[in-house]
């Protein structure tokens, strides 16, 4: 199994930016595609972005294109999500996950999930 721990969440003002981190351990991180998701109170989990194991190809939800950027550093077993132009409706718990298939991640299916990190956007 892959163990994942998210960090970098917190309180940000509307229009501001945050960078989330995902630390992986337990298996070879570079063997997995990685994705980011969020779940707002009372809502279903939402796919945000995914990146292939080599980091050369990415996929984004239409709602975040141009504002969020996913990246990874396989040498340090770290994944990242840069979030710009945050809005109050973006308040949610943000999760990272890995799977052998980027397509599985886009369908909100993963081999391993992190515990989540809270992001709150104030107006």
Q: What pLDDT score was predicted for residue 13? A: 98
Q: What pLDDT score was predicted for residue 1? A: 82
Q: Is the Cβ–Cβ distance between 46 and 60 less than 8 Å?
A: no
Q: 14-28, pLDDT tens digit by residue?
A: 999 999 999 999 878
C-alpha separations of 51 from 58, 61, 73, 106, 108 in Å? 4, 12, 11, 10, 14
Question: Percent of the chain at pLDDT above 70?
Answer: 100
Q: Between residues 118 and 55, which one has the greater pLDDT?
A: 118
In the beta sheet, which residues pair with residue 6?
22
Q: What pLDDT score was predicted for residue 90? A: 97
Q: Is the Cβ–Cβ distance between 65 and 78 less than 8 Å?
A: no
Q: What pLDDT score was predicted for residue 28? A: 87
Angstrom distance (rounded) from CA 97 to CA 119: 17
pLDDT at 96 over 90: yes
Q: 38-64, pLDDT tens digit by residue?
A: 999 999 999 999 999 999 899 999 999
- 21: helix, strand or coil: strand
Q: What pLDDT score was predicted for residue 103? A: 95
């Amino acid at each position: 199994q892959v163990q994942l721990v998210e960090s970098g969440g917190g309180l940000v003002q509307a229009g501001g930016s945050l960078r989330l981190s995902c630390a992986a351990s337990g298996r070879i991180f570079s063997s997995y595609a990685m994705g980011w998701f969020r779940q707002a109170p009372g809502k279903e989990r939402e796919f945000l972005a995914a990146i292939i194991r080599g980091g050369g190809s990415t996929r984004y939800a239409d709602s975040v294109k141009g504002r969020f950027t996913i990246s990874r550093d396989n040498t340090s077993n770290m994944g990242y999500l840069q979030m710009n132009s945050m809005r109050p409706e973006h308040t949610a718990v943000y999760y990272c996950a890995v799977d052998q298939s980027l397509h599985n991640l886009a369908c909100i299916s993963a081999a391993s999930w992190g515990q989540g990190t809270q992001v709150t956007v104030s107006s």
